[in-house]
Structure 1
Amino acid sequence: MRKAIIALSALSMAIPVSMAIPTDGVSAREHYRYREWRGRDGRTYCRKSDGTTGLIIGGVGGALVGRAIDTRGDRATGTILGAAGGALLGKSIDSKRRCR
């Protein structure tokens, strides 16, 4: 009788843990498959671009334009300011505000 009680109590401890673990990776990531999904807290989330590509391309383009405009001296100031301005402009263009 003692072994049966120990076995039942061990089983009752293992069942809630096994229910919380997803069966495979697909079911764990299932709600991220679409562009928009509703989270556990009831909010709607969406997958959107963070603007990294625009930041890099804008920075390179801005550096080239800044270097071409600043023709006096060592041209480092124009290159740095152009890269910063181009990066900010590229990020603002590439990052999407809405999901649609």
Structure 2
Amino acid sequence: MRTLVLALTAATLTIPAMPTPASAHGSSYHGKTWRDSQGRLRCKRPNGTTGLIVGAAGGALIGRAIDTRGERATGTILGAAAGALVGREVERSRKRCR
């Protein structure tokens, strides 16, 4: 029962973090922008490193809590990998420049 509750909790924390499609009208980016030599609009966007680290740490903790049999290393490693991917994608999708 505990494993089921932890799995559902992890799933509910992940679903709101899914990226949403950007709107076609306007831009939500309010950071530094500039024009390159061809006249295209460029902007400074996060590369996702912070989200990767935080996601990996959180995913490792959740994976360790869910995997309660044996050494628990498998759950920790898989949780860290999944958390890192989700955390990086969430951070990179926050700011749009178009």
TM-score of Structure 1 vs Structure 2, range by shorter chain: 0.5 to 0.7
Gaps of 5+ in 2: 1-30
State the superposition RMSD in angstroms. Answer: 1.6
Question: Does 1:40 pair with 2:31?
Answer: no
Task: Find the counterpart in structure 2 of residue 85 from structure 1.
Answer: 82
Q: Structure 1 vs Structure 2: percent identity of aligned residues?
A: 61
Q: Equivalent residues in 2 for 1:1-20 (5 A)?
A: none
C-alpha offsets along residues 34-74 of structure 1, whole Å, 9 cap, x if unaligned?
61110012211110111111000000000010001000010
Task: Find the counterpart in structure 1 of residue 4 from structure 2.
Answer: none
C-alpha offsets along residues 19-47 of structure 1, whole Å, 9 cap, x if unaligned?
xxxxxxxxxxxxxxx61110012211110
Bigger relative CO (Cα 8 Å, ≥ 6 apart): 2
Gaps of 5+ in 1: 1-33
**In structure 2, how many angstroms separate the alpha carbons of the residues matched to 1:51 and 1:37?**
21
Question: Does 1:49 pair with 2:46?
Answer: yes
Q: Which runs of 4+ in 1 moved over 6 A?
A: none
Is contact 2:42-2:97 (8 Å) kept?
Answer: no
